[in-house]
Every structure is written in C-alpha cells, then in structure tokens.
C-alpha cells in the first residue's frame, strides 16, 4: 500500500528531505511538501540584499519547480497538527500522513522584548532576519547620517550564529563606501561569554581581533531586557543601559505556534534525536531550525541551512527504514561551513566539525576576494536547482 509522507516547510531542510525521501521510497509513495509561499531564498542572501548587492528576485527559487517530479508542493498555511489522527489541517484542506517531517524553521518574535516591536515599527530599530525587514534596514542604512549603531543579540539560539558579526562589518563597509566611515561607531552586544561561543573560545578571540581591526567593538554577557524607542535606549538585565542612533537587533526566535500548539515543543523548540531526527511523538521527525538537536550537555546543533540539509538526509533514511524499506542507516554528521562576509568584496569561512571531542573543531579562515567568489559560486549552484530560472 502506498504511504504518505508530509513535510511542513520548503526551506533548505524541507527541499533536501523531499529529495532524499524520493530516492529511498517506492515511486507510488506520495511525498507532499506544504509551504505558505512558493518562494525560497538562502539566508546569506538576506545579508547581500541588506547591503544592496542583490535584489530579492535575483536570488529566489520556486519550490514548485525544484520539486517537480520529486514531490507535490501544496501552497497553503499549515494550521494544525493532529498527531493522534496523523493529520495536518491546512488552509486548503486536511492532509493525512504516515510520517510527518517538521521543517518549518523558526519564527522571529520581537514582541517578547518590551518596546522592541514598536522600535521596529517606527524605524529606530531594524533587523535582517526576514526579507521585509532586510529591505527596510537597507533603506535605513542608505540614508543613515552617522552616529552610534548598536547591534544587539536578544536571545540564544538564533539563525546563523555568525550573521550579527557579518552585519556589523557590512554596516561599516557601507558607511565607508558612503564616505561616513569616520562618523559611525559600531558595537555588537551579545549574551554569550565570547562572540560565537558555540564555536569555542579560540574562534571568539580570533573574531574579536578581526572585528576590532575593522573598528567594531564587542560587549559580551549582556542580556537584552527592554528597548525604549522614544529615548533610543536599550536596557540590559544587568541594569546597564546603552544609547543608540540606530538599533539593529537579532530578534528572539522560537518554533512556530503550529508545532508548539500541537504539544511537540519542549519550551521554545522541538527536541529531536541527533541519530534519527525523531521527535518524542511516533511518526513525527523534526529537522533544521525548528529542532533542538543536542550534541552533548551544553551544545546544540547551530541553526544553519547546512545542518538542516544534513539532518534531512538522516531523517529520510530513518523514515524509509521505519516504513520498512532497505535504506542505509542514518549517518550522524554535524560538519558545517558558513561563509563569513566581511565587506570590501571579501569573505572568510567558518567551518568545522561540531561532533569533535572534547569540543567543536572549528576554524575561521582569513577573509579574501577568493572566499567571496566561492560564496557566489555556491549561491549560483543553489539557484541552479530551479530549472525555471
Ligand atoms: C541573515 C541570515 C544569514 C544566514 N546565513 C547562513 C549561511 O551563510 N549559511 C547557512 O548555512 N545558514 C545561514 N542562515 C540560516 C538559514 O537560513 C536557516 O538555518 C535555514 O533556512 C533553515 O532551514 P529550514 O529548512 O530549517 O527552515 P526555513 O528555511 O526557515 O524554512 C521553513 C519554511 O517553512 C514554512 N512554514 C513555516 N511554518 C509554516 C506553516 N504554518 N504553514 C506553511 N508553511 C510554513 C516557511 O514559509 C518556510 O519556507 C542565515 C540566516 C539568516 C537570517
């Protein structure tokens, strides 16, 4: 009897899961991917768009075309998951499943920090963790007259740990290009003990040196508690305060309401096994940003596309075996590489094995023009998966 596998989310995780599942399941099995949009962009392109180097349509693929011949895309809002009936309610009807993959990513929730939503609405604050926000921030930065730019990481974890530091360097880069480099001051404030703490203290030191050499200062160990948009001031849990002319924030992230309301989350995220990507509920797997995947006591897999894609392969193999197919055993990996955009046409790479003992073995390569070219080549090959472009 043909089975139904449903995937919620057509991001890098969902697309990779559909592809891997197709290679392990019988051609008669149905693979359905649900997403509210038939439009996807890699996270790194939000930085390129914010900096003004790319337009949104230049870096967009259509999942309907990418998935043609592999899976069926249902463009709809997934409204409710019923794990007992094995059914997803969507804005276009119910879809039943034998196996369900949650690849719904994370949502950003500025409302969790008092004052932040109104600071974003009235333009004294901005971010680039969604496309509309990246476009707004681009406008703000292109007419920013100079002054104090504060980049604050509100909470951990968030999508793409290096991104706030790249934002800092790109903000400086743009200011220099606009001839106002001397009149801006850029500071990154993080709750972490060192920048990019997930990659270990040595990377933190190297990154701090790189940022300081480019005129970006870093303050660690500060937890954002509120924003006062009227006085352009942020308040931290320690009681300390900072004034700003422009606030760029990494808003709080959490799993979408859809999965939290279904009782699949523990706190903000859906716990999933590193070895199989199974959740605690039979018949449901979680991959990518929505999942909390524990490597060890105090280390979770970082939220990045590269890991979502590796987890998609693990989940696909496990689902195929669970359905009775002779698929290879899941191979546990947490090796990742992220380009690190530094401006001046250069990029470094942060790469490493997060499974290494006793701590992740991560390196940050020196920024170079070749790094930027390689990042662009990788982006081009990702865009090339859409045959309609
Ligand atoms: C500024 C920035 C820079 C980044 N740079 C990098 C980088 O250099 N390298 C890297 O590896 N990663 C990077 N990332 C992170 C990367 O974008 C994410 O980790 C990745 O997209 C996660 O993939 P995912 O498939 O888990 O979720 P997502 O890509 O978020 O996809 C989830 C999908 O689910 C859909 N969805 C959610 N809920 C519903 C619902 N109820 N109904 C219907 N559809 C729904 C959404 O529409 C979305 O399309 C960056 C992120 C940002 C913000």
Tens of pLDDT, residue by residue over 159-190, are: 999 999 999 999 999 999 999 999 999 999 99
Q: What are the residues whose beta carbons fall under 8 Å from the beta carbon of 116, sequence distance 6 or more?
A: 110, 125, 154, 226, 227, 249, 251
Residue 333's pLDDT band, with cuts at 50, 70 and 90, is: confident
Residue 321's pLDDT band, with cuts at 50, 70 and 90, is: very high
132: tokens are 């509309």
Each residue of 238-259: pLDDT tens digit? 999 999 999 999 999 999 999 9
138 alpha carbon – ligand 1 mean position (Å)? 20
291 alpha carbon – ligand 1 mean position (Å)? 12
Residue 161 near ligand 1, beta carbon < 6 Å: no
Report the pLDDT value the prediction gives residue 214, as an integer from 0 to 100: 96
Place of tokens 């500071």: 187
| pLDDT at residue 1 greater than cutoff 90 | no
The span from the CA of 312 to the CA of 224, in Å, is: 33
82 alpha carbon – ligand 1 mean position (Å)? 24
Beta-sheet pairing, 270-272 with 291-296: parallel
Residue 304 near ligand 1, beta carbon < 6 Å: yes
Residue 341 near ligand 1, beta carbon < 6 Å: no
187 alpha carbon – ligand 1 mean position (Å)? 26
Query: What does 128-174 look like in DSSP terms, one character per residue?
Result: -SSHHHHHHHHHHHHT--SEEEEEEE-SSS-B-TTHHHHHHHHHHHH
Q: Which CATH number fits domain 4-106+255-322: 3.50.50.60, 3.40.50.720, 3.20.10.10, 1.10.357.10?
A: 3.50.50.60
- Atom 4 of ligand 1, residue of closest alpha carbon: 43
259: tokens are 């999965």
Residue 305 near ligand 1, beta carbon < 6 Å: yes
Residue 36 near ligand 1, beta carbon < 6 Å: yes
The span from the CA of 158 to the CA of 111, in Å, is: 15
Element housing 276 (H / E) = none
Residue 43 near ligand 1, beta carbon < 6 Å: yes
Q: What own/partner pairs with CB < 8 Å and gap ≥ 24 does 320-324 have?
A: 320/21, 320/24, 320/25, 322/99, 323/3, 323/25, 323/29, 323/98, 323/99
Taking phi over 0 as left and psi of -120 to 50 as alpha, with beta for the rest, 367 belongs to beta
Instruction: Give, in words, the CATH class of 110-252.
Output: alpha beta
Each residue of 254-264: pLDDT tens digit? 999 999 999 99
| pLDDT at residue 20 greater than cutoff 90 | yes
**Residues carrying CATH 3.50.50.60, the chain:** 4-106+255-322, 110-252
Q: Please name which of 54, 107, 52 lies closest in space to residue 78, comparing C-alpha atoms.
A: 107
Residue 256 near ligand 1, beta carbon < 6 Å: yes
**215 three-state secondary structure:** coil
- Atom 38 of ligand 1, residue of closest alpha carbon: 104
326 alpha carbon – ligand 1 mean position (Å)? 31
Atom of ligand 1 nearest to the CA of 339: 8
Tell me how many helices (H) and strands (E) the chain has.
10, 24
Q: How far is CA 318 from CA 208, 273, 284, 285, 313, in A?
A: 41, 11, 11, 9, 9
Helix axes 12-24, 305-322, angle to 10 degrees: 30
Each residue of 100-132: pLDDT tens digit? 999 999 999 999 999 999 999 999 999 999 999
163 alpha carbon – ligand 1 mean position (Å)? 13
Task: Determine contact, residues 6/97, Cβ cutoff 8 Å.
Answer: yes
Report the pLDDT value the prediction gives residue 358, as an integer from 0 to 100: 87
Residue 301 near ligand 1, beta carbon < 6 Å: no
Atom of ligand 1 nearest to the CA of 375: 8
Residue 258 near ligand 1, beta carbon < 6 Å: yes
| pLDDT at residue 200 greater than cutoff 90 | no
């Amino acid at each position: 009897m043909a089975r139904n596998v449903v995937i919620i989310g057509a991001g890098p995780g969902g697309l990779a899961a559909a592809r891997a599942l197709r290679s392990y399941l019988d051609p008669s099995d149905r693979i359905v991917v649900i997403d509210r949009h038939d439009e996807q962009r890699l996270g790194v392109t939000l930085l390129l768009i914010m900096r003004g180097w790319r337009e949104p349509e230049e870096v967009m693929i259509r999942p309907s075309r990418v998935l043609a011949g592999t899976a069926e895309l249902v463009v709809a809002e997934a409204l409710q998951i019923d794990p007992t009936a094995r059914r997803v309610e969507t804005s276009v009807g119910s879809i039943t499943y034998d196996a369900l993959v949650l690849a719904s990513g994370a949502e950003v929730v500025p409302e969790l920090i008092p004052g932040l939503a109104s600071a974003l609405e009235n333009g004294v604050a901005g971010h680039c963790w969604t496309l509309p926000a990246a476009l707004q921030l681009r406008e703000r930065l292109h007419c920013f007259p100079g002054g104090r730019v504060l980049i604050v990481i509100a909470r951990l974890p968030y999508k793409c740990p290096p991104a706030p530091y790249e934002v800092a360097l790109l903000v400086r880069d743009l200011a220099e290009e606009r001839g106002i480099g001397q009149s801006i001051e850029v500071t990154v404030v993080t709750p972490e003990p060192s920048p990019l703490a997930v990659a270990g203290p040595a990377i933190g030191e190297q990154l701090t040196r790189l940022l300081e050499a480019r005129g970006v200062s870093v303050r660690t160990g500060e937890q954002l508690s509120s924003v006062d948009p009227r006085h352009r001031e942020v308040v931290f849990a320690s009681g300390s305060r900072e004034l700003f002319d422009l606030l760029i924030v990494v808003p709080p992230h959490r799993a979408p309401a859809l999965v939290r309301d279904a009782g699949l989350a523990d706190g903000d995220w859906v716990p999933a096994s590193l070895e199989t990507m199974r959740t605690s509920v039979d018949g449901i797997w979680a991959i990518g940003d929505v999942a909390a995947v524990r490597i060890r006591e105090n280390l979770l897999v970082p939220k990045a596309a590269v890991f979502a894609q590796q987890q998609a392969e693990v989940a696909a193999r496990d689902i195929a075996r669970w359905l009775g197919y002779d698929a290879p055993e899941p191979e546990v990996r947490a090796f990742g590489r992220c380009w690190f955009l530094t401006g001046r046409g250069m990029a470094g790479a942060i790469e490493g094995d997060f499974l290494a003992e006793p701590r992740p073995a991560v390196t940050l390569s020196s920024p170079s023009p070749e790094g930027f070219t390689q990042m662009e080549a990788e982006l081009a090959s990702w865009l090339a998966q859409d045959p309609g472009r």
